[in-house]
Chain A
Amino acid sequence: MDFSLMQRVFPFFVEAAFVTIEITALALVLGLVAAALAAAAKMSRSAPLRTIGTLYVSLFRGTPCLIQLFVLYFGGPQVGINLEPFAAGVIGLGLNIGAYMAESIRGALVAVDRGQIEAARTIGFSRFQTLRKVVLPQAARLMIRPLGVNTVALLKGSALVSTISVVELTYTAQRFIGSTYKPFEIFGIAALLYMIMVYAVARVVDMLDKRFAIV
């Protein structure tokens, strides 16, 4: 192990880790919005909306995220979409994870006991009131874990944007492996930083899960 090398390159990695955090956070926000819309569309009473929701989810889940990024970033200019690597990365990752999150959200909504809906309806609540006051508060709790798993997958998946030359953690690692020929040391640093982030997200998910547990 070459510790002086590790010491020398460490600051670059920390900087790169912040890019990874930034891109993950932005993609997460975009993904949640896309997921909420897609879940609503898939569960809507309008057939065209249902089709759109189903198509989005199945196409983005049925193909590799890497290809989606390549279509957007390399193919985009052919159809008039010119994006910076960072923007393409956020949009590509966000739309991809949104499709997975849509299923997490839908699964949680469907998992709420039917009796809950019936009870609210017999009191006289409308569909919307029932959704807002009875179904969503209970589903929110059921969503925390699956959405947490999606977020961890997004964080690790963000490494893919290195292939469209976003200078984040994996790109930085790749560059230093190429220039130093010390893959174990470089991998060690990058792995450490990823693991800190991944297990931090897992902790937050645990806390949220406890916080929203129904006593």
Chain B
Amino acid sequence: MQGLDFSVVAPYVDILLMGTWWTAILTVSAGALSFVGGIIFAVVVLYAPAIVAYPVRLFMWVFMGTPLLLQLFLIYFGLVQIGIDIPALVAGIVGLGLHFAVYNADVLRAGIVAVDFGQTEGARSIGFGKWQTLRYVVIPQAVRNTIPPIGGNMIALLKESAIVSVIGIAELVHSAQLAISETFRPFEFYITAAALYYLLNLVLEAGLRRFERNVEISR
């Protein structure tokens, strides 16, 4: 036992904040990818011809049934195997984004199905095409109605993003590990990292609550 001394953290504050910043960037970009990807997957599964829909369903099924960590390994090392050498950061964003796109698609698919059929009939009756109806009437309503669970997925994404440290992305966990390799003080640095995640989590939750309220008001 060495006893605890949190003052060891002080010289590394810059590095940790840089890591926090990268975690935020990672979360936002993977979050955006997961949202767009979620809509695409949901629409494909519901409306695309079977030859496209079935492979996507299989993909979703596999991604929901396996750990994110394993998926990251596949993307990072798998792409190298087939000759595509992408930076770890891109692999991390794609991995996180695809993983949560599958969860968002699951939510959005239920949301699209739940939009009242009268809405579709109403849009079609004024001359909207099938795609236009989906694009301008059904999907916007489905997205609005599924904001809380999708927000929940975004919060999960923030915390799960810690995992990409294993493929060497310089985010928050990785920057803590860097400091630990020099100081041999894992407890202090991991607790500090935890506190920073907790703060990011609070900020994201508050942001989502505010967004939900605004959407609620604009109804």
- Taking Cβ atoms with an 8 Å cutoff, the residues of A that contact B are 59, 62-68, 70-71, 74-80, 156-160, 162-163, 170, 173-174, 177, 181-184, 187, 190-191, 194-195, 198-199
Tell yes or no: B215 within 8 A of A by CB: no
**A residues in contact with B87, CB < 8 Å:** none
- Report yes or no: A191 in contact with B70, Cβ–Cβ below 8 A: yes
User: Given the known A-B contacts A79-B4, A159-B67, are A62 and B190 also in contact in the complex, defined by CB atoms under 8 Å?
Assistant: no
Tell yes or no: B180 within 8 A of A by CB: yes
Partner of A194, one of B70, B159, B161, B201: B70
User: Given the known A-B contacts A70-B186, A79-B187, A183-B77, are A63 and B66 also in contact in the complex, defined by CB atoms under 8 Å?
Assistant: no
Q: For the complex formed, measure the closest distance between the CB of B165 and the CB atoms of chain A, giving whole angstroms.
A: 8
Q: For the complex formed, measure the closest distance between the CB of A58 and the CB atoms of chain B, giving whole angstroms.
A: 8
Q: For the complex formed, measure the closest distance between the CB of A184 and the CB atoms of chain B, giving whole angstroms.
A: 6
CA distance A184 to B81 in the complex (A): 9
**B residues in contact with A80, CB < 8 Å:** 1
Partner of B191, one of A71, A163, A198: A71
- Report yes or no: B69 in contact with A78, Cβ–Cβ below 8 A: no
Partner of B194, one of A68, A77, A177, A191: A68
**A residues in contact with B67, CB < 8 Å:** 156-160, 170, 194
- Report yes or no: B69 in contact with A67, Cβ–Cβ below 8 A: no
- Report yes or no: A184 in contact with B74, Cβ–Cβ below 8 A: yes
User: Given the known A-B contacts A78-B4, A199-B65, are A183 and B190 also in contact in the complex, defined by CB atoms under 8 Å?
Assistant: no
**B residues in contact with A162, CB < 8 Å:** 69
- Taking Cβ atoms with an 8 Å cutoff, the residues of B that contact A are 1-4, 61-62, 64-70, 73-74, 77-78, 80-81, 159-163, 165-166, 173, 180, 185-188, 190-191, 193-194, 197-198, 201-202
- Report yes or no: B65 in contact with A198, Cβ–Cβ below 8 A: yes
CA distance A156 to B63 in the complex (A): 11
Partner of A195, one of B65, B163, B185: B65
Number of A-B pairs, beta carbon distance below 8 Å: 121
CA distance A190 to B65 in the complex (A): 11
**B residues in contact with A79, CB < 8 Å:** 1, 4, 187
CA distance A60 to B78 in the complex (A): 33
- Report yes or no: B1 in contact with A78, Cβ–Cβ below 8 A: yes
- Report yes or no: A170 in contact with B69, Cβ–Cβ below 8 A: yes
- Report yes or no: A191 in contact with B65, Cβ–Cβ below 8 A: yes
**A residues in contact with B185, CB < 8 Å:** 78
**B residues in contact with A177, CB < 8 Å:** 73, 77
Chain A residue nearest to B186 in the complex (CB): A74
Partner of A62, one of B166, B186, B187, B202: B202
Other than the given A79-B187, A191-B66, 9 more pairs (CB < 8 A) read A64-B159, A71-B186, A78-B3, A79-B1, A80-B1, A160-B163, A177-B73, A183-B77, A194-B70
Chain B residue nearest to A68 in the complex (CB): B194
Partner of B201, one of A62, A65, A77: A62
Mind listing 13 A-B residue pairs with CB under 8 Å? Answer: A62-B197, A62-B201, A63-B194, A64-B160, A65-B162, A66-B163, A68-B194, A75-B187, A156-B66, A163-B166, A183-B73, A184-B74, A194-B70
